[in-house]
Chain A
Amino acid sequence: MAFSDEELIKECVKGTAKYQKALYEKYSAKMYPIALRYSKMQQEAEDILQEAFIKVFKNIENFRQDSSLPYWIKRIVINTALNHQRSKLYLYPMVDVSDLKSNSAKEVTLSSFSYQELLDLIKRLPSGCQVIFNLYAIEGYKHHEIATMLEISEGTSKSQYARAKSLLRGWVEENNRINYERAGEI
């Protein structure tokens, strides 16, 4: 039985186990890919998701209706993921990378890639690049917002994104080239 968000919120505030599970089942499949994008390993993503949903249930009484429930949960998942990544970011601090030349002036297409392949490419990125690429390109944060969130300079955010873009573009082109060659052999 599908419950409305209002019902789920009301009952989760009371701590009703049945509704907590219903809320999890309703949104976990949407949130899990987000956790995966910020992680290197599947186990790490599961930890993020688990911690995020515990925060959701712990703080749901503070949820204000000025945003949607899935948006609120998504923000918690992202913040939890950032917390997980922060220790790595600090141990391998992000510095401004030199202006990287674009590998190619032409745009690359992702249509030939499956979701899993794209996810694997994001996971290959260095931690700092991975986080900033996710925040900027996919979540849609601005560089100054990312700078505040990660306590880095705006320039660092921009340069890390440029580096991520450069690396991804290179891998995508390489993959496309290999696929093209394989297709030619056939």
Chain B
Amino acid sequence: MSGPEKFDDEFGKEWREAFDDFSQTPPPAVWENIDRELTYRKMIYYKKSARLFQYLSAAILLLVGFLSIYIIFLNSNNQLLQNNRLIDISHPKPLTESIFKLDTLGNYFFKKQGGFFVSDNSENSTSNSFKSKAQIDEKSKIDNGNSVSGLVVPPIYTKANSALVKLELLEDLSPLPPNANITIAANFENHEIWRVADYSYLMKKSKSKTNSEKRVMWAGIDLGSGSFDPNYQSSAVTTINNSISPNSLQFSGARTDAIESQSPQIEESMSAGSTVSLGLNFGFHLSEKWSLSSGIRYNLSQATNNTNVVVQSTKVQEAIPASQEFKNINQVNNAVSSNSVVKYDFQDVELSNEFQFASLPISAGYLIYNKKFSVELNAGVAANFYLGNKLTDSSNEFADVSIGPGGQSAYKEVSFSGLAGIELGYLFLDRFEVIVQPNYQQSLNALTKESAEFEASPSGFGVSTGLRYRFK
């Protein structure tokens, strides 16, 4: 307020002075209503936050579930007794010379000869199978007569029940004293003892090749959550006429010329919300470092629409919020057609706007680190198929509007977005991998049609977790 223009008389000044500094306490009901509204808004806020936490919790639970299964499985296999003490082999020590797999229930005695163990219980009735294996080990020993320290485990298989079973990496027993008494835990019966050759001098050359060969193809599921910013923009001056329909809103009984000439300006916006996704994915390694992946994903994204005008119609019990999204929606246009509109009001309305998409992503990955833990950078594009959106009012004061794909919607049926992320993987049970991936998604083209009075090009950060199975 920059002060009144020079009064042509004292009239205005007198009025101003008459009302200056006047106070009047409003009725208590006003504050009660404000308090109720503020409480309600807080509740909505917490409700939204709670939903985001629910999805996040679900993702964490999924991750914890995977890890629990892994740990339980590992614990059932990775405990044995050595020299009457319990050895936890879940974290194998760096290898030096020999690796053993303990198999048969019973006591075995070993001599240490030149860094290798040989059976010292040839008279033992249970030693036959071991002896035969020891001969194979002897071959390894011969082959590896001049082995260097630092074992790398080659893929070694033995026949058990006519099926190929991969030997697991256990602890180096070389430091044991000669004639050490090794007791195999009762729950490890049917395991076998193998002496594994040291191929480290060879494996160093072919190590990476072996790793990449192990990861050929995979398939899995993923669950994600994150932010959804529609990046709403509206440059056009929106009035109630061009917001709902240029032909429908006639305000029968009112001054139609007034509506047409001074249609109220609508202040509409769409603010950021959250998104959740569920998908199936598959991929394969193109080379040692590069991979390609794709899949299908269902996304449920939520934003908040605000508008300041509502229309009362005789055809709908609730008021209809004026939104540019409704311009071509027959359902809305019928409700606000001639003779049905009672009035419109300026009223701040907040609507939840839920979008549904089906996405087909394709991305390329570059492996930075590839051990039991892996780190991969990936980037790609996704084709997003718009399945519909629904604007709802949690207070049930305003009409809910569902919009499907097609001519009536302001949104394109297909849009594209760019993806980038860092994929962190943890391999367990040989073929399973838990994935956690922080990612960013940005629209490459507008989600909205050219004919729409506004533009939305969504973007958002998110985290997805998933489980993969590797085929070999």
Contacts and interface: CB of A to CB of B under 8 A. Distances in A.
B38 A93 contact: no
Contact of A118 (B19, B23, B26, B258): B19
Contacts of B265: 151
A51 B348 contact: yes
B22 A115 contact: yes
A97 interface: no
Which of B3, B31, B255, B263 counts the most A-chain CB atoms under 10 A from its CB? B31
Nearest to A145: B2
A46 interface: yes
Interface stretch (B4-12, B208-216, B226-234, B387-395): B4-12
A46 B38 contact: no
B1 interface: yes
Interface in A38-60: 46, 49-51, 53-55, 57-58
Contacts of B263: 90
Contact of A140 (B4, B14, B35, B308): B4
Given A33-B22, A86-B346, A87-B345, A118 B30 contact: no
Interface in A146-175: 151, 165, 168-169
Query: What secondary structure prevails in chain B residues at the interface with A?
Result: mixed
A183 interface: no
A136 B38 contact: no
Contacts of A29: 23-26
Contacts of B262: 89-90, 93, 151
A30 B23 CA distance: 5
Interface in A109-144: 109-110, 113, 115, 118, 133, 136-143
Contact of B34 (A54, A133, A165): A54
A50 B343 CA distance: 22
A140 B23 contact: no
B33 interface: yes
* B-side interface size class: 35 or more
B343 A87 contact: yes
A107 interface: yes
B331 to A, nearest CB: 24
B163 to A, nearest CB: 64
Contacts of B308: 83
B4 A137 contact: yes
Contacts of A17: 35, 38
Given A20-B38, A50-B33, A145-B2, A92 B258 contact: yes
A11 to B, nearest CB: 13
A168 B15 CA distance: 10
A169 B348 CA distance: 37
B261 A53 contact: no
Interface string B259-296: 10111110000000000000000000000000000000
Contacts of B11: 107-108, 137, 165, 168-169
Nearest to B262: A90
B344 A143 contact: no
B136 interface: no
A142 B5 contact: yes
A50 B19 CA distance: 21
Contacts of A53: 30, 34
Contacts of A15: 38, 42
A33 B23 contact: yes
B164 interface: no
A139 B265 CA distance: 23
B344 A28 contact: no
B258 A57 contact: no
Given A29-B23, A58-B41, A142-B2, A87 B16 contact: no
Nearest to B259: A90
Interface string A56-80: 0110000000000000000000000
A138 B19 contact: yes
A10 interface: no
Given A32-B24, A32-B25, A33-B23, A110 B2 contact: no
Contacts of A169: 11
Contacts of B264: 86-87, 90
Contacts of A33: 19, 22-24
A142 to B, nearest CB: 5
Contacts of A87: 264, 343-346
Given A92-B258, A110-B15, A151-B265, A28 B30 contact: yes
A25 B22 CA distance: 15
A110 B255 CA distance: 37
Nearest to B9: A107
Interface in B31-48: 31, 33-35, 37-38, 41-42
Given A28-B31, A110-B14, 8 more contacts: A29-B24, A33-B23, A50-B30, A84-B346, A87-B264, A87-B345, A136-B5, A138-B15
| Cβ-closest 3 pairs across A and B | A137-B12, A83-B346, A29-B23
Interface of A: 15, 17, 20-21, 24-25, 28-30, 32-33, 36-37, 46, 49-51, 53-55, 57-58, 83-84, 86-87, 89-93, 107-110, 113, 115, 118, 133, 136-143, 145, 151, 165, 168-169
20 contacts: A21-B31, A21-B35, A28-B31, A32-B23, A46-B26, A50-B37, A54-B38, A57-B34, A58-B41, A90-B258, A92-B258, A107-B10, A113-B18, A136-B4, A137-B11, A138-B12, A138-B16, A142-B5, A168-B11, A169-B11
